[in-house]
Amino acid sequence: MAAAQAPAKDAKVLRHIVMYKFKAEMSPAQIQEVGDTFAALPKKIDKIIDFEMGTNVSPEGKSEGFTHCFVVTFRDEAGRDEYLKHPAHTAYVQVVKDRREKVIVFDYWAQP
């Protein structure tokens, strides 16, 4: 399924931020699988209008061990809620749940 059409530039959007601190024993391949599985979600869940991911590159040393960040954008709370219940998201959670030491999830309305 294709991602939903992007909103107008002056429209608010809902951002869903997920950050992970992985368990020390996780291999780079196991962490890569988490990223690859998350990155596949926009093709499976049409309520996602944008997606980006990256690893921490801050020189400030304040990440508290969190290394990976994923940003998922929705038009509204209904889209986010559908994403959270979607079978592809549920399958993703099964991939990551035993690999993460800590997770932070933070949602906010982005102002244009």
CB 38 within 8 A of CB 89: no
pLDDT, the chain, mean: 93
Is pLDDT at 2 greater than 50 in this prediction? no
Is pLDDT at 12 greater than 90 in this prediction? yes
CATH topology of domain 13-110: Alpha-Beta Plaits (3.30.70)
Burial class of residue 74, CB neighbours in 10 A (0-12, 13-18, 19+): buried
The domain segmentation of the chain, as residue ranges, is 13-110
User: Beta strand 50-55 with 68-74: parallel, antiparallel or unpaired?
Assistant: antiparallel
For 26-61, the pLDDT digits (tens) are 999 999 999 999 999 999 999 999 999 999 999 999
Amino acid at 69: C
**What is the arrangement of strands in the sheet containing 68-74, beginning at the earlier edge strand?**
50-55, 68-74, 13-22, 100-110
